[in-house]
Structure 1
């Protein structure tokens, strides 16, 4: 599938190598060989993804065109049903809140007028001035800054977190660190 003949050679070598005994990295040359193989595999994966993406876009475009027509018809029939239901509701509001039919139900729902906030700042200032019992104060620790003052020490063979005064800090656990390794293949 790879279009670059050099990557094809790399992938062919990889297939041959898998048939033999397990390869081991022993020096920079063998490590570089592995990186070449990884680069060829990444190229192959990119080609597969590009092909898949092109097909996904083509199918998505087709779907959108088809659904556009379907949605127009849905809106048309829903409009017809809503118009008829409104007429039935106006004639008898209690008896025609919902109309059950073999293939579905037409429903109406009436809501009362209710407040809706749109300017949090203006609302907060008004409530503070008139009745601050409805103002909520949120307390939180500035974790980023406080964390800088903490230390991890060993106490009785266990790792623990202490503050600047050397006191154990409740509610804080030790996230164990370590070394991680990764591979970056040059493009």
Structure 2
């Protein structure tokens, strides 16, 4: 038993030249192609199940909409003279809720990032305006120098003690054509 394991270790394939390296890359390319086939088959299966699910859910949603259309006029009529906003039934509750407010600015809808809203908020009171600071990291990093020891030096030659840089290990990769 131990002899067999020792022989297996001796007979293990090793990359010793460009030809044996090429053989490894060809094997990787074949495995990557197989992965692509499996992914393609998986996507087809998922598409089929998604279509089935979408069709079934649409049928259910259509039925729910039908029952909503039956309930809606009755609920509005029942609540017209009531102080209540809902009716409790044995299987659930039906009712109305306050509708969503639609704000307009200069005659059209807007969102919170609208520049015109910013102008109005500033004119009311600056406390309604938020100023956010952020670092332009790419620009800052371009103007810093890293020494061999990992120290960081500013444009004007000052060492910035708060920074230290360590170069990571090289990353191995294989690109298959």
Q: TM-score, normalised by structure 2?
A: 0.74
List runs of 5+ in structure 1 lacking aligned partners: 1-17
Render the CA deviation track for 1:140-186: whole Å, top value 9, x for unaligned.
3322111111123477xxx443322323254x553633311100111
Cα distance per residue 1:21-47 (max 9 Å; x no partner): 432211111111111111221222222
Q: Residues 111, 54 of structure 1: CA spacing in aligned structure 2 closer, same or farther, 3 A cutoff?
A: closer
Counterparts of 1:1-187 in structure 2, within 5 Å, are 21-94=11-84, 97-110=85-98, 115=103, 118=110, 120-153=114-147, 159-164=150-155, 165-168=157-160, 170=162, 172=163, 174=165, 176-186=167-177
Q: Deviations over 1:85-132 (max 9, x none)?
A: 2222112133xx232333222243226858566162112223334533
Change (3 A) 1:112 1:62: closer
Alpha carbons 1:163, 1:169 under 8 Å: kept: no
Q: Provide TM-score, normalisation by structure 1.
A: 0.70
Would the aligned equivalents of 1:154 and 1:160 in 2 still touch at CA under 8 Å? yes
Distance 1:178 1:33 in 2: 27
C-alpha RMSD of the superposition: 2.9
3-state SS of paired residue (1:106): strand
Deviates further, 62-71 or 123-132:
123-132
SS of the aligned residue for 2:80 comes to helix
Residues 141 and 81 of structure 1: CA distance in aligned 2, closer, same or farther (over 3 Å)? same
Runs of 4+ in 1 over 4 A off after TM superposition: 111-117
Post-superposition shift, 1:58? 1.9
The CA distance in 1 between the partners of 2:86 and 2:152, in whole Å, is: 63
User: What's the secondary structure of 1:110's corresponding residue?
Assistant: coil
When the two structures are aligned, how many residues end up with a matched partner?
162
Residue ranges of structure 2 left out of the alignment (5+ in a row): 1-7
Summarize the Cα distance change of 1:126–1:73 in structure 2 as closer, same or farther, 3 Å threshold.
same
Q: Distance in 2 between matches of 1:176 and 1:78?
A: 63
Is the Cα–Cα contact under 8 Å of residues 151 and 159 in structure 2 kept in the other structure?
A: no
